[in-house]
Amino acid sequence: MDRRIVVTRSVPESALDVLRTAGEVRVCGQDRPLEVAELHEAVRGADAIVSMLHDRVDDAVADAAGPGLRIVANVAVGYDNVDVAALSRRGIAVTNTPGVLVDATADLAFGLLLSVTRRLGEGERLLRARQPWSFHLGFMLGTGLQGKTLGIVGLGEIGQAVARRARAFGMRIAYTGRRRAAAEVETELDARYLAQDDLLRESDVVSLHCPLTEQTRHLIGERALGLMKPSAVLVNTSRGPVVDERALATALHEGRIAGAALDVFEREPAVEPALLELDNVALAPHLGSATIETRTAMAELAARNVAAVLGGNAPVTPVAG
């Protein structure tokens, strides 16, 4: 079997087992994202590429791979790192890994929300610094979620999963997006559809679950932050550039919103330095899908896509070009 499959960073062995049924597998051994030149060199002669969210896969990568490239399987739900249109023009299939990380990401989003509203990170930092403390009724007061409005930007599968968790905490649900959700989804979640500006004005928590596109880049910037309540909290587990981090840091520092919880960043792995100085921010290093079960399922789904296409079948989870 002379088909060549290039995996740009390590994946679980169970996914490699699937890939080996479809061709010769080469896993790039570095423990970091590949530089552009390294990526181009690594994919030469590839029939399939299993890419990560930090790999920019475009015409130049396709040129480097050569005419045999048939599929790019991105191990992520988002595919803003892949030039889908360019690859589709060449007849190269692009796939992603939807569905399998819904619950893990929703859990993480809600965990971050609790961390910032109940000041959990701040409290842990106090203890680890061995600062003196004693219980009293005014000590490290946070805010509850019951009766508050959760405004979801993008009521897809992950947004819906977050809404279900929020309802269990007694929150009201509002949402906005390019289109309204199905009537049965609105009914199940008792969710109100609002225009984006109205959602920003009304919500006590704004949680972002939209893809990164030219339309959503810096969706939350100075103007949007100015519409939010001074008591509101922003949660982002979608893509970092959806938020203008400098504008967010300024708004938090000036008290124009109350807090933020971020799992993704505008220039990963870098974080806006001003955010690191603020106690009203909960931060995580892109852990939304970071459970053993979820990351394994993502890699296995990407591998099944490769095996399907190289075997002459339709991909399992194609991205439309």
Helix H or strand E segment including 49 = strand 48-51
- Scanning the chain, the segments in alpha helix (DSSP H) are 13-20, 36-42, 59-65, 84-89, 102-117, 120-128, 157-168, 183-189, 196-202, 222-227, 245-253, 273-276, 292-310
- Phi, psi dihedrals of residue 71, rounded to the nearest 5°: -155, 140
Q: Which two tokens stand for residue 303?
A: 């591998």
**Other CB atoms within 10 A of residue 177 CB:** 17
- Phi, psi dihedrals of residue 225, rounded to the nearest 5°: -65, -35
Q: What is the 8-class DSSP label of residue 318?
A: B
By the 10 Å C-beta count (0-12 exposed, 13-18 middle, 19+ buried), 114 is classed as middle
Q: Cis bond leading into 269, ω under 30°?
A: yes
Residue whose structure tokens are 């520092």: 253
Beta-carbon contacts of 290 under 8 Å, excluding residues fewer than 6 positions away, are: 104, 108
> Residue 123 region, left (φ>0) first, then alpha (ψ -120 to 50), else beta?
alpha
- Phi, psi dihedrals of residue 36, rounded to the nearest 5°: -55, -50
Q: Which residues are catalytic?
A: 239, 268, 286
